[in-house]
Structure 1
Amino acid sequence: MNKRILISGASIAGLTLAHWLARHGFEPTVVEHAPAPRSGGNGVDVRGNAIEVTERMGILPRIRALATDVHGMKFVDATGRAVARIDTRDPASVEIMRGDLVALLHEVTDAEILFGDSVLGLEQDDDGVTVTFEHAPARRFDLVVGADGMHSNIRRLAFDPEERFIRFKDHYFAFADTDASLGENRWVTMFNTPGKMTGIYRSGNHAQAKAYFMFRSAPLRYDHRDVAEHRRLISEAFGGESSWRTRELLDAALADPDLYFDALGQVRMDSWSNGRVTLVGDAAWCASPASGAGAELALVGAYLLAGELAAADGGHRVAFARYDAARRPLVDAKQRIGPNVRLMVPKTEGGRCVRDVVARLPLLRTLGAMERRTPLPEYGLSGGGGRRS
């Protein structure tokens, strides 16, 4: 049985995987580049089968207690007048701040976690993987899982450079902390000019609000780790905008040391495994923030990967194949983000007017309930064995 499993990344996918692997009798170790659990991030949706995953983990009541209580999206004109609203509340889903969810997952994860370290090299052979770290001594593992995001280090080491797998979706986005008084309580307020969106996310249960920016662009050359470059790019895109509250939100974002900026991209791969190495979460299938499905895919994908390894008694070839087959249909569906992007960032003034009309239609409020859900498999615990659909 392949029991010793290294997971790179201590966010939603990595911690969920470590939790379920430990419950199935494996010995997971997590390595995380950050010095502690990441506390920042935006709101994420726990819905679909992810509700059942968190219920089986025993954390669903606490997720509900920490819910953001956001009612929906509001689109405004330059004077701040609401021109359309979409009520996004769904009794079958819960929105929670990413940092709050990561903290809960960290609490219930019984695994060794190496904070402040990262993987430098992987060397596979017939019996396992030798892993070298930036700081810790080299160690042997039976399997390695990359749960380290769209810019996955494990994917680069075990597969190919990210340029082969990331598909740029014609937009860049950023978010940062801002003054909650700039937005309406319990609403995501958005203002558009052609090809650009400025917004503010104000949770009903959190004092801190988030400023959001998205803009359409040809590919840009920049280092995704260089925050100074990120500030420059956001300033160039929005520095000339003075309508609504754009200037105030931009000033707040540029002053936030934790400003987040990246391309709107998706990860497309024909296979998520290579020998004894596999991927989960955004490292495998990032659908982009525009999908609204990152947390859902991460929670369910990690649960299924751990369960299939247990059902196969650690046999990685069988488990990885079943895991791939189980996840790919939903991943493919969630990566169809075209309507979401057009809703948030219309390309033209005419497109914005059409969006405002469409946003007033009752149909948009029911689309989430139309999503088809498949039964979540149940797996025997404590050492594997058994798989029930």
Structure 2
Amino acid sequence: MTAPSEQTGSPRPAARTVLISGAGVAGPALAHRLGRHGLRPTVVEVAPALRPGGQAIDFRGETQLRILRRMGILDELHRVRTGGSPMTFVDAGGRELLHLPAEFAGGDIEVLRGDLSRILYEASLAAGAEYLFGDSLTSLTETATGVDVTFRHGPPRTFDLVIGADGLHSNVRRLAFGPDADHVTHLGHYAATWSLPNHPDLGLGLDLRPGTGTGAGTGSIGHNTPGRLASVAADRTDPARARAFLVFASPELAYDRHDPEAHKRLLRGAFAGLPWKVDRLLDSLGTADDLYFDSISRADAPAWSTGRIALLGDAACGATIGGMGTGTAILGAYVLAGELSRSPGDHRAAFARYESLLRAYAQDRQKGGDRTGRFLAPSSKLGLRLRNTLLGRRRVLAWMLKAAKDGTALALPDYPDRPANSPSTQMH
């Protein structure tokens, strides 16, 4: 990225056009809020379309629910809620060792990531967002009046601002802030998930309750050996399908992040010969076309913005899983868009206030990701026994649930929506 030639004291144009990289959750959430504040968002996404399915994600605490309500999507999320996902850990013979209720992982409301992404996408389209699927950024050149952007496939364009909402391995962060090695820390584990047929011998009964549209089945069932977790859960929207979830401890591995066949080889090597239903899960890898595989890692950007470019969600301060990053990303989108609407002629001040309001909160949520691998796949038999014993105590579990909910509280400003022709959003 070339440095801007902005003159000190020269008037700054209002932030009017905003390019957002990433159409997962944070990107569409930001596009929706920017559109409602009268700005013109464009979202670029490397995938050819929205990615359906995925793991269940949760929101918890009044702050997160209040922002979802302000965004106008809470009622729709209630309509597609899963009802929560209880977790059961079993021994090699299938006997229960630990059962965690739905609210442990599901929070106040749990939805599938694909459903959340779709709802936010549709809301952002209604707010005027433009989407560029099947493309990605190749360069960012900041000038005194904007950011010149080149794309892998589309023609070059210029935007007032660029936001990286493209996850832990953010392309925008790489282009504007430096390589992953400078910002991403491996936390000692890898995780994978994919869909497979729900065979009867998986033991995943799914009882669809009339009138709710949610599954009230067994949730996920998992088996541990030291440093390994293999689990499977019924698909809440299609009882004929299930979803595998594997975690294993490992030093950082060298592999192609974009090669699913390499990911499958690593999983087969890590779990070969394990008991329970592991062989059946590994066999299903051969036909899996939706495999997600990544390290459990943490991203830390020393600053969330530079010039006209800023980071949002996991790109700024994220963890692969377990850090309640989705709720934080929604709050971040709400605050970032609101601050830009408050200071349309001064993006630097808006970025600074956005980071000041959220950095400590995001870092606190991020700590959950640091512990996720050790919780899901303790490294020793003693560690497994301690986890199962402690969480099997009702009082300990109740304290953890309360602490998790209390930790999501955050006082945020109210940012009223502004019409597209509001003078405060026009170019100076």
TM-score interval for Structure 1 and Structure 2 normalised by the shorter chain: over 0.9
What is the CA distance between 1:2 and its match in structure 2? 1.1
How far apart, in 2, do the equivalents of 1:329 and 1:218 lie? Answer: 29
User: Which residue in 1 is equivalent to 2:212?
Assistant: none
Rounded Cα–Cα distance in structure 2 between residues aligned with 1:136 and 1:183: 48
Shift of 1:178: 2.2
User: Are 1:311 and 1:384, in contact at CA under 8 Å, matched by a contact in 2?
Assistant: no
State whether residues 129 and 276 of structure 1, in contact with CA within 8 Å, keep that contact through their aligned partners in structure 2: yes
Q: How large is the RMSD of aligned CA atoms in angstroms?
A: 1.9
- Measured against aligned partners, the alpha-carbon deviations of 1:345-370 in whole angstroms (never above 9, x if no partner) come to 11101111111111211222342333
Hey, what's the Cα distance between the residues in 1 that align with 2:64 and 2:27?
Answer: 15
Determine if contact 1:175/1:253 at 8 Å carries over to the other structure: no
Which residue in the other structure is 2:32 paired with? Answer: 19
| Correspondence 1:360 to 2:392 | yes
Q: Distance in 1 between matches of 2:342 and 2:96?
A: 52
What's the CA shift for 1:212? 0.6
- Equivalents in 1 of 2:320, 2:277: separation in Å? 26
In 1, Cα distance between the equivalents of 2:218 and 2:82? Answer: 8
The 1:164–1:92 alpha-carbon spacing in structure 2 relative to 1, beyond 3 Å, is closer
Amino acid at match of 2:416: G
- For residues 1-389 of structure 1, the aligned pairs below 5 Å read 1-48=14-61, 49-89=63-103, 93-109=108-124, 110-180=128-198, 181=200, 182-184=202-204, 185-207=217-239, 208-241=241-274, 243-291=275-323, 293-337=324-368, 338-362=370-394, 363-370=396-403, 371-372=406-407, 373-382=409-418, 383=422
Partner AA of 1:43 in structure 2 = A
Shifted more, 119-128 versus 44-53: the winner is 44-53
Contact kept in structure 1, 2:296 and 2:319, CA below 8 Å: no
Secondary structure of residue in 1 paired with 2:144: coil
Which sits farther off after the overlay, 71-80 or 226-235? 71-80
Could you tell me how far apart the structure 2 residues matched to 1:71 and 1:24 are? 36
Q: Structure 2 CA distance, aligned partners of 1:3 and 1:249?
A: 49
- Tell me, yes or no, if the aligned pair for 1:196 and 1:216 is still in contact at 8 Å: yes
Aligned residue for 1:156, secondary structure, equals: helix
Where structure 2 has 5 or more consecutive residues not aligned to the other structure, the ranges are 1-13, 205-216
Letter in 2 for 1:280: L
Which whole-Å CA distance do the structure 1 matches of 2:289 and 2:86 have between them? 28
* TM-score for the superposition, normalised by structure 2: 0.86
- Aligned equivalents of 1:92, 1:150: Cα separation in 2: 23
CA-CA distance at 1:288 after TM superposition: 2.2
Cα deviations across residues 48-101 of structure 1 (Å, max 9, x unaligned)? 333222212222112112112234211110011111111142796211111111
Bigger shift: residues 81-90 or 158-167: 81-90
SS in 1 for 2:19: strand
Identity of aligned pairs, percent?
39
After superposing the two structures, state which structure 1 stretch, 68-77 or 271-280, moved more.
68-77
Kindly name which structure, 1 or 2, has the bigger radius of gyration based on alpha carbons.
Answer: 2
What whole-Å deviation, never above 9, does each CA across 1:140-193 have from its counterpart, x for those lacking one?
A: 111000111111111111110111000000000100002334244242222100
Q: How many residues align?
A: 384
CA contact (8 A) 2:53 2:113 kept: yes
